[in-house]
A = this chain, B = another copy of it.
Amino acid sequence: MNEIMLGGIADHATPLVRNCWYVAARAAEVGREIISRRLLGVDVALYRTLAGEVVAVRNRCPHRSFPLAKGKLVGDVLVCGYHGMQFDPSGRCVSMPAMPITPTNASVRSFPTAERGPLVWIWMGDPDHADEAKVPDTSWLDSAEWKSVTGGFHIESDYVAMHENLLDQTHFPFLHPGAIGTPEYARSKLKVREEGDMVIIDRELRNSPPPGVYGVPTGLTGRPVDRFSDARFVSPALHTAYARIVDNNDASGAPRTYRFNITHIFTPESNGAIHYWWFCSRNFKLDDAAADAHLYESSAKAYQEDVDALEWILDVVRNDSQPQFDLNFAPDKPGLMMRQILYRLAAAEAGSPSQGCQRDNAGGVAAERLPASA
């Protein structure tokens, strides 16, 4: 434990980390109909240019706060529905019909985006730190060698609790007593380590039957296999789990490895509500509809159990009139390491220009607060 960790551990009320690539929407959601979504407390309008580029701007006209998503597109230009003020994809005003001269230094804040396979990522933080190279890898979601099933939730919970839940597998036998929980696995040895701002836990369990979720699609139910898992807190926006099931008794005579990549994506709507998307990807039986159905149903059921539990918990935490300092036990270590990272990241942003709207309408505005003449 290094010293900076002493600063504290994040909880549901900790300010949200803004300097991070988050998912704004599934790529398929964004098109020529403008949509809006609240991300980190800010309403964002999303659309595509005629060329198909994703545009994300603040959903609030800088003139009279009209929600821009209620306006319309004319070509690549977003036209406000109140006074017809027009913004190009960069957010710069290109026309204000009521004015003889276009106030070209007026603008609506635009947000950097990056489209990666089925996902549109967005940078809500300090634009000077937006670096597309840091969009996290989810290449398996867009690879011909993988097949994914996917689902999502809008939930009343917080990313801290969701990440802690995913870094903790000791709850499997209790919260998910059917498909994914085996008592042996809950007690299996884990190794935890930090890598930069990531927390990674490795587990292995040898010579033990797989849980239902993996047993059915691999056809290995009830048979002893080796099971390896690398689960990682990648960023506030992303948890990925790489699971391998190794069958040492494969008919081929050689060990056969089945891989599952599980992708959990969280974007806070605000403190207390999150957009949650998940993907369960596999590198075998790519065209097997029964495997699709089994993995979708098992995953959706288990994640619904997580969602229910975490919504119940946040409700308790918010409404209980007598606060509680939760106890911590040894298996909570990975979660606490992650919560220290989240706290450290949030603390580093506090007071920095990226926390707030200081950069909105950057570059000055055309009109004074009160116009000198009509």
Contacts and interface: CB of A to CB of B under 8 A. Distances in A.
A187 to B, nearest CB: 8
Range for the number of chain A residues in contact with chain B: 35 or more
A67 B168 CA distance: 18
A164 to B, nearest CB: 8
A170 interface: yes
Q: Lowest 8 CB-CB distances: which A-B pairs, in order?
A: A41-B321, A322-B357, A98-B170, A333-B374, A84-B174, A330-B371, A98-B331, A329-B367
Given A60-B316, A321-B41, A336 B96 contact: no
A175 B99 contact: no
Chain A interface, >50% SS class: loop
Interface in A325-374: 325-334, 336, 356-357, 360-361, 365-371, 373-374
A317 interface: yes
A317 B361 CA distance: 16
B82 A309 contact: yes
A148 to B, nearest CB: 28
Contact of A366 (B42, B164, B327): B327
Given A43-B320, A171-B82, A320-B60, A106 B327 contact: yes
B321 A270 contact: yes
A269 to B, nearest CB: 10
Contacts of A66: 309, 312-313, 316
